[in-house]
Amino acid sequence: ETGVTQTPRHLVMGMTNKKSLKCEQHLGHNAMYWYKQSAKKPLELMFVYSLEERVENNSVPSRFSPECPNSSHLFLHLHTLQPEDSALYLCASSQDRMGNTEAFFGQGTRLTVV
């Protein structure tokens, strides 16, 4: 248990569906992140939020839409995904958005797009 909780743990969705991934942390952290990890590939940083403001968006397709309503919650809204979007999606949080403070990761959501 890292203090970062992701739901659901597993998700299967069709290409025309709309779904959302949820991340929650009560560690008092100010920065939250979404990462994508495809099979046997490095983690790809998707989005960074600092104090509820998006500060980084690494050329992610618009079919992925993040939302950070408060410092404890982070969502990733999914719509019209492609099969190549199937991956493990990881949420992380840290005290601030500079990498010198320890980041805590959730267990991830295993997404399968059919």
Residues that bind another protein (CB under 8 A): 2, 4, 31, 33, 35, 42-43, 45, 48, 56, 88, 90-92, 94, 97-100, 102-108, 110
Our CB check for another protein shows the closer of 13 and 103 to be 103
Radius of gyration of the chain (CA): 13
Our CB check for another protein shows the closer of 44 and 80 to be 44
Q: How far is the CB of 80 from another protein (least distance, A)?
A: 26
Our CB check for another protein shows the closer of 79 and 110 to be 110
Q: How far is the CB of 16 from another protein (least distance, A)?
A: 27
Q: How far is the CB of 8 from another protein (least distance, A)?
A: 14
Exposure on the CB side of residue 30, measured as CA atoms within 13 A: 10
Is the separation of the CB atoms in 37 and 86 below 8 Å? no
Is it true that the peptide bond before 69 is cis, omega within 30 degrees of 0? Answer: no
Q: Which residues touch 1 (CB under 8 Å, ≥6 apart)?
A: none
**What type of residue sits at position 95?**
Q
Q: How far is the CB of 10 from another protein (least distance, A)?
A: 10
Our CB check for another protein shows the closer of 18 and 38 to be 38
User: Which residue has 């403001």 as its token pair?
Assistant: 53
